[in-house]
């Protein structure tokens, strides 16, 4: 059986073009996207945000934005890996627990 999907690799391949390598919403395509991609480094983005909400957005996309659905493109395990990777951009994630 293959190992767990690599969220960092999947993010680099599928997400960084819009959201940027560091999750700041400043990828190479970002300037052409309206509304702009989310900045995952912004604490306001994370306020009240749940893992399930992130998973739904990655799976189904986000209406009225360029955020495309990845259902049928990525497996459920790959979506989970990307969501887990995106969570590391949360500024409060670095805080001791």
Domains in the chain (CATH in brackets) are 7-92 (1.10.760.10)
CA triple 54-96-93, angle to 5 deg: 20
pLDDT at 93 over 90: no
**pTM for this predicted structure:** 0.89
pLDDT of residue 5: 84
pLDDT digits (tens, 9 = 90+) for 10-65: 999 999 999 999 999 999 999 999 999 999 999 999 999 999 999 999 999 999 99
Which has the higher per-residue pLDDT, 43 or 94?
43
Q: Tell me, what's the pLDDT at 94?
A: 62
């Amino acid at each position: 059986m293959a190992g767990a999907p690599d969220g960092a690799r999947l993010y680099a391949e599928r997400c960084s073009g819009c959201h940027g390598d560091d999750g700041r919403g400043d990828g190479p395509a970002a300037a052409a996207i309206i509304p702009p991609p989310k900045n995952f480094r912004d604490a306001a983005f994370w306020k009240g945000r749940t893992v399930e909400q992130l998973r739904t957005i990655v799976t189904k996309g986000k209406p009225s934005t360029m955020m495309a659905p990845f259902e049928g493109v990525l497996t459920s395990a790959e979506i989970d890996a990307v969501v887990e990777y995106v969570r590391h951009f949360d500024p409060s994630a670095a805080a001791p627990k």
